[in-house]
Amino acid sequence: MSPRPQLGVGQYGNMTATEVGGVWVALARFRDLDGVTRRVKAQGASEPKAKAALRNKLDQRRKAGGVELDSESRVTELAERYWAAKQSDDLAANTLYNLRLAIDNHITPRIGSLRVREVTPQILESVVRDVTAKHGPGSAINLRSKLSGLFTAAVRWGCAPTNPVAFTPVPKQVRKPIRVLTVEDLLLMRAFAVEVLKPLSFEDRLKRANGDKTKMGGKNRGQTPLDVMHFLLATGCRAGEVPGLAWDDVHLDDPVPWVEIRQQVVRVKGAGLMLTATKERDVRRLRLPGFAVEMLRTRQATAKGPMVFPNERGGLLAPRNLATAWSKTFAGSPWEWVTQKTLRKTVATLVNAEHGSVLASQQLGHASDGVTRRHYIAQSLTPLDTGNALELFGT
């Protein structure tokens, strides 16, 4: 007869229950933190109640010994412990929000009921493949990253011998050509925006309302989309950093006007809009070109609050609302495909052409120029000119 397999630390074996004098006694073997297996028992008025009492006693014994999870724990328990641990880390609010989404939308529904020991690379590969088919490779790569962090913690906490995610393939993502605007396109796009957003006369507004004064509205069209376009071209900052800009960060009267990019606006589930540190927690001080200085002076003259680009009530402007206003401005035009991120890529490409990718990455706030070169700098279409270096092959 083969020997009984040894329990893991903090694990217990099968429960048995017997009735003794009208009282049910549940019994199980439990391996304590010192490695010694001991019998533990609990009583109850019925068999289910006795086993429930024993299960609670064993859980408390495991936690008292510092073992909150083991290989028999459900993935849901692991995920919640991981979430609690991440709360104490110095993470951006948006990072925590995305982790919570991954737990609630994918991890718990798909593998939450499995025990940690039951999670195999094959199961995780199937989950990632399904997310790729339904939501695209970008979402699948993001989920795989979250799963890797989760099961790395499981290894650290003694719940799993290895990280099963390490044995799953990374979804392939087809890299599309980086599309940017030429200087000529930018000038035409700006002229279009100026025409679309120009203030309307009373007669024009009445005509647009079909002669009904009650439908004219109390305000004329705002210049914010055009101003945002100018600021993005001047700085190459992220879309969420635009509404996060405060007047305290704008220095127009210095000999060389500059702006400090240090925070962004994000929407956090359950908390609404919040000001947080920039995505890479970098603080960038950027020189402002003349057209941006002129735009900011105009806005400053009528500013009524601390933010440069506030909402209509003077509070934080939601990045999504800013993107919606942008889309409406250029809808139906040759620049309908252009997003705020397109201008960020355009800035990176222009800076790279003049000063190289390192300065371009610093302008955008990347930790290194690797990301900038792969995802933000458009490939030059100008043929490489090696001069006479290769002419010798023709001799």
Of residues 87 and 259, which shows the higher confidence score? 259
Residues 157 and 108 in one domain: yes
Question: CA-to-CA distance for 121 and 137, rounded, in angstroms?
Answer: 18
Total number of domains constituting the chain: 3
270 assigned to some structural domain:
yes
Q: Are 248 and 240 in contact (CB under 8 A)?
A: no
Q: What is the CATH number of the domain that holds 95?
A: 1.10.150.130
4 assigned to some structural domain:
no
Among 66, 86, 150, which Cα is nearest to 114's? 150
Question: CA-to-CA distance for 310 and 196, rounded, in angstroms?
Answer: 21
Taking the CB of residue 28, how many other CB atoms lie within 10 A of it? 21
* pLDDT at site 296: 96
pLDDT in tens, 54-109: 988 888 877 765 557 888 889 999 999 999 889 888 777 778 888 999 999 999 99
What is the sign, positive or negative, of the torsion defined by CA atoms of 70, 76, 81, 82?
A: positive
Q: Could you tell me the residue range of the domain that residue 244 belongs to?
A: 183-375
pLDDT in tens, 261-307: 999 998 877 778 888 888 777 889 999 999 999 999 999 999 989 99
Q: Is the pLDDT of residue 18 over 80?
A: yes
198 assigned to some structural domain:
yes
pLDDT in tens, 315-368: 999 999 999 989 988 999 999 999 999 999 999 999 999 999 999 999 999 988
Among 177, 103, 92, 89, which Cα is nearest to 142's? 103
Of residues 72 and 206, which shows the higher confidence score? 72
